[in-house]
Amino acid sequence: MSTNVIMPQMGESIAEGTITKWMKKVGERVDRDEPLFEISTDKVDAEIPSPAAGLLTQILVKENETVAVNTVVAVIDGEGSAVAVPAATEPKPETAHQGPIHAAPQAAAHIPPPAAPTASEQIETGEDDVRTSPLVRRIARENNVDLGQVKGTGLGGRVNKKDILDFIEQRGPGTPVAPSAPAPAIAPTPSPVSFTGASQAVPMTPMRKQIAEHMVASLRTSAHVYTVVEAEMTRVVAARDRFKEEFERRHGIKLTFTSFFVRACVEAIKESPIINSSVDGTNIIYRRDVNIGIAVALENGLIVPVIKRADEKNFLGVARAVQDLADRARTKRLSVDDVQGGTFTITNPGSFGGLFGLPIINQPQVAIMGVGAIEKRPVVRDDAIAIRHMVYLSVSYDHRVIDGATAEKFMGRVKKILENWDEAVL
């Protein structure tokens, strides 16, 4: 097999080159990448390595002759072992790419950019190389779609409008919402702000951007209404105090308040299925499975892993899931699946001392409960002032589908379950 050696394109604007020196004679053996000839162009002088190993059988362009880029200047007869470009192949500026280009000293300060990438290189993805239109790029931007992941069905694999709309539809509306996307994989290292002036612009991390977009989108989507109830936690606190050591010893899991709240919500949701729904146009989508999202604060953001089918788990199962998800959230080992499919979310402003918060609904869900700080408060019991563990529970609900009465009924049920806690913990 023989290989054509061509005049390489040394820069975008270079149209021709002059061969200044052949380093090999006809009949000599040459190795792949061994310097074969020297050229001089408008911008650079360079040694050109051989594109293949073999015998130099023909020199077609003599020294000091100038020829156009891509002109065949020599032929190398391969020895079978060489990965040779067949002679008939469209001459590519491969030679310019393969070996190092040694710029001659006099032009050292003026090395042109490498030749335009070959077609095969362009096909390798990376979002910027996706063939598509400004329209599709805009849609991708607005929906946080990595175009590299979208299969193009258009001409030459082009991603067209239909492709991206199909992709977004299949991905479902749940994915791009709130901090649920696979953003956790990216470690958002806190970027220390070093001030050079009175203020300093720091680009948002991808997670920050997603949270920002999703929170604003949620407020735009849902008719948020809030209500707050106060629940006495005496029995829950007592159960926890009594069993926490035994629980940890037996199961290797910490007994957290979160598990109590999850259990209470799951039971209450069974009686108010609308809480576990979402809105699709003019349809209400009721979900069979109760998948409870737990907001976990991270150093520089927030993530909401989801306890799948929490309605099928007993207390231990819930506790195990809560610990597992929280651990993996903090060590950034959550999978995409772990943060998808939530049907209701619990967030915990109380863990940082908040009495109660008014959270934003995690779309496409229709309600989110915020747990305030559990603290001892004076309350009236049997016309006497008593000291009890109390908590404020807030709920933000979507008034498009949940009316005040429904929300109060749901929260009343949560409160009742907590106040009359009687479920076996161990």
Partner 1 sequence: MPLLTYLEAIRQGLWEEMERDPSVFVIGEDIGVYGGAFKVTAGMLEEFGEDRVIDTPISESAIVGAAIGAALMGMRPVVEMQFMDFIACGFDQIVNMAAKLHYRWGPAVPMVIRGPSGAGVHGGPYHSQSNEMWFVHTPGLKVVAPASAYDAKGLIKSAIRDNNPVIFYEHKFLYRRIKEDVPDQDYVVPIGKAVVRRPGTDISVITYGAMVWTALEAASELEKEGLTLEVVDLRSLLPYDEETVLASTRKCSKVILLHEDTRTGGMGGELAAVIAEKAFEALDGPIVRVTAPDTPVPFAPPLEEYFLPNTQKVMEAARRLAAY
- Does the footprint of partner 1 cover residue 136 (CB under 8 A)? yes
Handedness of CA 322, 326, 329, 334 (dihedral sign): negative
Q: Would you give the binding string for partner 1 spanning residues 357-396, x where CB under 8 A is met?
A: ----------------------------------------
Q: Which is nearer to partner 1, 140 or 418 (CB)?
A: 140
R_g (Cα) of the chain, nearest Å: 33
Write the DSSP symbol of residue 205.
P
Angle between helical axes of 134-142 and 161-171 (0-180°, round to 10): 20
CB 165 to partner 1: min, Å: 10
Give whole-number Cα distances, 57 to 1, 17, 88, 202, in Å: 12, 22, 16, 61
Spatial distance between the Cα atoms of 353 and 375, rounded to a whole number of angstroms? 9
Which window, 56-64, 128-136, 362-370, 377-385, contacts partner 1 (CB under 8 A)?
128-136
Region near partner 1 per CB under 8 A, out of 99-107, 133-141, 213-221, 301-309: 133-141
Helix, strand, or coil (residue 319): helix
311: helix, strand or coil: helix
Active site residue 403: yes
Whether the Cβ atoms of residue 347 and residue 371 lie closer than 8 Å to each other: yes
Tokens read off for 269: 């949701």
Which lies closer to partner 1 via its Cβ, residue 168 or residue 402? 168
**In the numeric block, which tokens belong to residue 412?**
């009343």
Q: Does 141 bind partner 1 (CB under 8 A)?
A: no
How many residues of this chain interact with partner 1, rule: CB under 8 A? 10
* Closest separation in Å from C-beta 164 to partner 1: 9
Question: Residue with structure tokens 């032929």?
Answer: 75
Least distance to partner 1, CB of residue 132, Å: 8
Q: Smallest gap, in angstroms, from Cβ of residue 133 to partner 1?
A: 5
Does 320 contact partner 1 by CB under 8 A? no
| Rounded-to-integer distance, Cα 326 and Cα 295, Å | 9
Part in contact with partner 1 (CB under 8 A); list of ranges 76-84, 151-159, 227-235, 248-256: 151-159
d(CA 95, CA 50): 7
Contact flag: residue 210 with partner 1 (CB under 8 A): no
Q: Could you give the CA distance from residue 94 to residue 10 in angstroms, rounded to a whole number?
A: 11
The answer to whether the beta carbons of residues 294 and 262 sit under 8 Å apart is: yes
Q: Which of 397, 392, 385, 384 is nearest to 415 (CA)?
A: 392
Q: Of 6-14, 99-107, 158-166, 322-330, which segment contacts partner 1 by CB under 8 A?
A: 158-166
Single out the residue of 100, 156, 114 nearest to residue 132, CA to CA.
Answer: 156
Only segment of 24-32, 46-54, 155-163, 317-325 that touches partner 1 (CB under 8 A): 155-163
Pick from 43, 97, 102, 158 the residue near partner 1 by CB under 8 A.
158
In single-letter form, the type of residue at position 245 comes to E
327 is annotated as an active-site residue: no
155 sits near partner 1 (criterion: CB under 8 A): yes
Q: Which is nearer to partner 1, 163 or 311 (CB)?
A: 163
Quote the CA–CA distance of 283 and 26 in Å, as a whole number.
80
- Closer residue to partner 1 (CB): 160 or 394: 160
Q: Which is nearer to partner 1, 161 or 209 (CB)?
A: 161
- Contact between 418 and partner 1 per CB under 8 A: no
Is residue 134 involved in binding partner 1 (CB under 8 A)? yes
Nearest CB to partner 1, comparing residues 113 and 134: 134
User: Quick check: 160 binds partner 1 (CB under 8 A)?
Assistant: yes
Cβ-contact 48, 115 below 8 angstroms: no
Contact with partner 1 (CB under 8 A) among 68, 116, 135, 336: 135
* Cα 418 to Cα 258: distance, rounded to the nearest angstrom: 12
- 188 near partner 1 (CB under 8 A): no
Restricting to residues 14-43, which ones interact with partner 1 according to CB under 8 A?
none
The DSSP code for 292 is: E
* Strand-pair category, 72-78 with 2-6: antiparallel
The answer to the question of residue 114 lying near partner 1 (CB under 8 A) is no
Give the catalytic positions in this structure.
Answer: 399, 403
- Contact footprint for partner 1 (CB under 8 A): 133-136, 138, 154-155, 158, 160-161
